[in-house]
Structure 1
């Protein structure tokens, strides 16, 4: 977030909404629920083991902070130190995968995800993030498997975020009817989430369900803290399809006054409603 506004909406294309979804997906890489394997074959060394784990988790917390700041190389160094202390810490492997993904090193990212799942096959955070990684690379069938495994976990506490990215992936692969069903499930769980409302509105717009699309995008635009150029532009496109010329003008005026340099304002000026 910046200045109290959610960033990353891209109403014209579902694929461009991925930025916000990813930010939500990676919100807490340190808080996975699975625990690393413990070596119980040797007795009397619990204090040493505890100190090793403490050091690893301290490094992990530092890496997470650096990652959040975009200091990826520094984050990676801290993760390497964490894994040197605790090679099977799934949270560290998960974060390493995210860092490598952000650095564009897909082979290393995937290796880290697979290693994390080898340690903790029922870790919902890892499954969720690996599913999103696969979706971004258009490996939709594999992504579906990861999302389904995530949602099947009884202890998984945030199904709404997995349903959101699953719906985005389904839309990106052209499965709009299925995407609508998935995003409606996410919306039923968390109707206040603007990312879900925007994605659902965009899917409905693309399916020709313009009245219904209007309902969801208005939920975003009626909140001054949430609306932005992308949400206004989606609303303008919907009103254009509904033949509401005055509504289109009003939304265009808001775009011009609030976001004059945005690509959405430029698209409005040239009448690119169907681009």
Structure 2
């Protein structure tokens, strides 16, 4: 049997980490639904970054990628350093199979909030998909390091 590369092991860590993140998202579902409903009642020009992000995540979860991208772009327009906005943009690009765009968005997200382990995880996955195993290994190592520090993702909301 072939030995797994560091990047492949890293991807397994990615998948395990994503499962934990999804469980966390389900736990906060009621608050998220309320935020989405509130954002939908607000005219687009008056929405806050947080409201655009809530809508972007809701659209993404429902498979409405164009709407998710538009909401993420609106959040980024309000705050160009919106790590969560860039993450949603990266997720949309990843769903579309556009790995170069996903990597670019994830890199912007990690620059905006370098303490978020989940962003390194996603960046590592994009690097691996692009065949950049050495860089992917470094991203996965950074993910593990940040995870061990038990850093909680910072809120972007403004």
Structure showing greater radius of gyration is 1
Write the distance in 1 (CA, Å) between the matches of 2:92 and 2:60. Answer: 7
Q: Does the CA-based 8 Å contact 1:150-1:156 persist in structure 2?
A: no
Write the deviation string for residues 242-271 of structure 1: whole angstroms up to 9, x where unpaired. xxxxxxxxxxxxxxxxxxxxxxxxxxxxxx
Pairwise CA distance, 1:76:
0.4
Task: With a CA cutoff of 8 Å and minimum separation of 6, indicate the structure with the bigger relative contact order.
Answer: 2
TM-score by length of 2: 0.63
- Which residue does the alignment assign to 1:59? 52
Answering whether residue 154 of structure 2 is matched by residue 155 of structure 1, we say no
SS in 2 for 1:152: helix
The answer for unaligned runs of 5 or more in structure 1 is 1-13, 30-53, 158-275
Are residues 94 and 111 of structure 1, via their aligned partners in 2, closer, same or farther at CA, if it must alter by over 3 Å? same
CA displacement at 1:99 relative to structure 2? 0.9
CA drift of 1:139 comes to 2.3
Task: Report how far residue 26 of structure 1 moved.
Answer: 6.6
Residue equivalent to 2:120: 127
Q: Is 1:90 matched with 2:65? A: no
Stretches of structure 2 that go unaligned for 5 or more consecutive residues are: 1-7, 26-46, 153-158
Pick the aligned partner of 1:117 from 110, 118, 125. Answer: 110
Distance 1:128 1:105 in 2: 17
- TM norm structure 1: 0.38
Closer, same or farther in 2 for the Cα pair 1:126/1:148, shift >3 Å?
A: same
Q: How many residues align?
A: 118
